[in-house]
Chain A
Amino acid sequence: MSMTDEAPRLIERPLAAGGASPEQETPAPATERDVVFESRDVNVYYGIFRAVRDVTFTVPKNEIMALIGPSGCGKSTVLRCYNRMNDLIKDARVTGSITYRGTDLYDERVDPVEVRRRIGMVFQKPNPFPKSIYDNVSYGPRVAGQKKGLDDIVERSLRKAALWDEVSDRLKDSALSLSGGQQQRLCIARAIAVDPDVLLMDEPCSALDPIATARIEDLMQEIKQDYTIMIVTHNMQQAARVSDTTAFLTADIHSENDTRTGILVEVDTTQKMFSNPSDERTENYVTGRFG
C-alpha cells in the first residue's frame, strides 16, 4: 500500500468521523489540536537494507500514541527516529521528513543532542547507570550544565515517577539495588528530570511483572497532562488500556532473501482501531488471528 499521496490520516479525517460510540468522547481532529510530530514518508535503511517503508502519521500533543505490531515490524526503529537515536547506529539512514513543532528534525542545522534533551526516552530493559539513585536522576540536568537545585529536581522527578516514597531514605544507594520495576520507574524519573516535551517509551514494561506494569501504566496516565508520549508495545491490551491513538505496523516479508520491511497499515483512535478498524490486517491482528 502506498501512502505517498495522502496527507497524514488524522488531519484528513472530518470531525464527526471515526465511528466512536456516543458514550466515548471523540478526540478533536489534529488540525484543531496541537500537533507535536508530523512524519511523512519516513524510510529507515540499515546499509542497503530498508527496515521501514513510507511511514506517515501525526502525533497530537498531551496524548499517548501507541505503536503496535508483530515482532520485526520496525516499531522500535520508527520510535528511534523521533529523537534521532538511529544516529548512533552505524550505517543507519533516515529519509522522508519528521517535523517536531514545525521544524524538520533531520535538518542539518539541528543538533541531535539538543533534540534528545527535549525528547526523552525510556528503554525496553531498565538501564540505570551503576551509580546512586540520586546521581541517576540528576544525570540529565547535570549534563546540561545545571549545578543548583538538583535536590529539588530529584525529589520532584521521583515523586512524578511514583518512586519517591520507596527510595527517599536511600538516595545514596546504588540504583542496581532496586527491583526491576523500581529500576524502570527510576529510568522514567531520570528521563523526566530533564523536563522533556515528549517521552518515547520502547516496550517499557516488557521486562516487568503485571503489578509493576500496572504501576507504570497508571504513571503514564498521570504524566500525560505534562508530556506527549509515544509508546511501542507488543502487548495489545496495554495499547488498548493506555493510548489515545494507535498506529499498527506490520512486516512485509521479502520471500527472495527473507528480510522484512516494516510498513504502516493504519493509524486511528485507539477506540476505533480496537473496535472497528478499516483495514483487514489490523482486525486480524487485534483480534488475535495473526501475529
Chain B
Amino acid sequence: MHSELVTADQLQIAPARRRRDVIIRYTLVVTALVSVVVSALIVWSLLREAWTFITEVMWADTWGQQGWFPRRGLYDLPTIIVPSLIITGVAMVVAGPLGLGAAVYLSEYANPRVRSWLKPALEILAGIPSVVLGFFALTWIAPNIVGRIGKTTFLVIGAAILLVYAAVSAGIARAKIKQYREGAADPSARIGAVASIAVLVVAFALAAAWTLNVWLNFAPNNAGSLAAAGIGVGILVIPLVASISEDAMAAVPDSLREASAGLGARKRTTATTVVLPAAISGIAAAFIVAISRAVGETMVVFMAAGAADAARFTDSPFEGGLTMTAAMASLASGTDSVVGEGLTFQSLYFVGLMLFVITLSLNIIASRFVSKVREAY
C-alpha cells in the first residue's frame, strides 16, 4: 500500500519559471558568442585586406629600400621590424632582471609586512596608463638616461650583456654536448644538440657584430630614440614579469624548500638550485608574455621612439625609428589618416596581421609553458 500518492503535476516546475531559465540560458550563450564573433570578424577583415596587400604589392618594394614611406609606395619591412626587435630587446634587458629580482625577493625573502605593501606597489606600476609612460620616456628618460649614455658606457653595458648571454649559452651548450655524447645511439638527439649549439653561436655572433657596429657609429641623442622607448616599455612590463614569475615560484611547494634547508642549503642556494629550476617554465612563460606585450605596445613607442609616420632604416638604439605598432598608429591617426587610399591603407592591415601572428604564437607558446608548470609536481 502506498502512502500518499504524488502526481507528476505536483513535481512539475512552474511554466513561467521554466521560461525564465531558458531565457537566461540563451542570453548567456549570446553574450559568449558575441565576443567570439567579434574576434572572428576582426581576424577576417585583417586577413582580407592584408591579402589584397600581399597580392598587389611589388615585393621588391618591401625589402632593401631606403625606409618605410607608405605614401610613396615604399614598404621596407626591415625598417619597422628591426626597431620593434630593438625596443623589445631593450625592454627585456630592463624588465628581465628587475622583474625576476623583484619576484625572487617577494617569494623567497620578503617578510609578510614588506610583502603586503610591495606587491600592491608593483601592481600600481602596472596601472600607469601607457600614454603617461610614453610622455615620461620622451621628456625624462630620453634626456636624462639615454642622453647620458656615452660611447664607453654603451660598450660596457653591451659587453656585460654579451658576457651574460655567453655564460648562459655556454651552460646550455655543455648540457647539449653531454646529451650528444650520451645520445650516441639516437641520431635525432645528436642533430638536435648540434643544431641548438649552432643557433646559439650564430645568435651570439650577430649580437656581437651589432653591438660593435652601434659602438663604431655611436652618436648621442637627447630626443626620442629606440632606447628611450625601450626603457619605457621595459618599465611597463616589469610588473608583468614580476607577478607571473612570482606566481610560478609561490606555486613551488614549501616542502621542497624545507628539504633543501634540511640538507644544509642556504637561502640563496635553495632559491637558485631548487625554486628557480622548479618554476622555470612559469618564468619562461612570464618572459614570453612580456615579450608579446612589448612587441604589441603602441603608445610608448609612438611617443618616445622618435619617428613620425615614415622613417629611414636604422639599427641603432640611439636613433629615432618606427616600430610596427607605431607605423600603424601614425598612418591611421588624425588628419593624416589614409582611410581608403589603396595600397597605403592595406599595408596597415598587413603590418597588423604580422603583429597578430607574432603575439598569438608567443601567447600560445606561453600557455604551453604554463600548463607544463602545472604538471611538474
Contact = CB atoms under 8 A, between A and B. Distances in A.
Interface of A: 83, 85, 88, 90, 113-114, 116-117, 120-121, 123, 125, 127-131, 139-140, 143-144, 176, 187, 190-191, 194
Contacts of A88: 257-258, 261
A85 B261 contact: yes
A116 B259 contact: no
A102 B278 CA distance: 39
B277 A143 contact: no
Given A88-B258, A127-B253, A127-B258, A114 B263 contact: no
A130 B377 contact: yes
Most buried by B among A121, A129, A144, A191: A129
A140 B264 contact: yes
B260 A139 contact: yes
Contact of A114 (B257, B264, B269, B376): B264
B172 interface: no
Interface of B: 111-112, 253, 255-266, 269, 273-274, 277-278, 376-377
Given A90-B111, A129-B278, A130-B278, A143 B263 contact: yes
B262 A191 contact: yes
A187 B259 contact: yes
A194 B264 CA distance: 9
Contacts, number: 68
A194 B258 contact: no
Most buried by B among A90, A117, A128, A139: A139
A144 B264 contact: yes
Given A123-B259, A125-B255, A129-B256, A113 B376 contact: no
Contacts of A125: 255
A116 B260 CA distance: 10
B255 A123 contact: yes
B108 to A, nearest CB: 11
A187 B376 CA distance: 18
Given A130-B376, A130-B377, A143-B269, A85 B262 contact: yes
A140 B263 contact: yes
23 contacts: A85-B262, A88-B257, A88-B261, A113-B264, A116-B263, A123-B259, A127-B253, A127-B256, A128-B259, A130-B256, A130-B376, A130-B377, A139-B263, A139-B265, A140-B263, A140-B264, A143-B260, A143-B264, A143-B269, A143-B273, A176-B377, A187-B259, A191-B263
A229 B278 CA distance: 30
A123 B263 CA distance: 12
A131 B277 contact: yes
Contacts of B265: 113, 139-140, 143
Nearest to B182: A172
Contacts of B256: 127, 129-130
Contacts of A176: 377
Contacts of B257: 88
B263 A194 contact: yes
Nearest 9 Cβ contacts at the A-B interface: A117-B264, A121-B262, A140-B263, A127-B255, A143-B265, A116-B264, A127-B259, A130-B278, A113-B266
A205 B195 CA distance: 47
Most buried by A among B111, B260, B262: B262
Contacts of A116: 261-264
A190 B258 contact: no
Most buried by A among B264, B266, B278: B264
Given A120-B262, A123-B262, A190-B259, 14 more contacts: A88-B258, A90-B111, A113-B264, A120-B263, A121-B262, A127-B256, A127-B258, A129-B260, A130-B377, A131-B277, A140-B263, A143-B264, A143-B273, A191-B262
Contacts of A113: 261, 264-266
Nearest to B259: A127
Contacts of A144: 264
Contacts of B273: 139, 143
B281 to A, nearest CB: 11
Nearest to A116: B264
Contacts of A194: 263-264
A128 B377 CA distance: 10
A114 B264 CA distance: 6
Most buried by A among B257, B261, B273, B376: B261
Contacts of B269: 143
Contacts of B253: 127
Contact of B112 (A90, A114, A129, A191): A90
Contacts of B255: 123, 125, 127
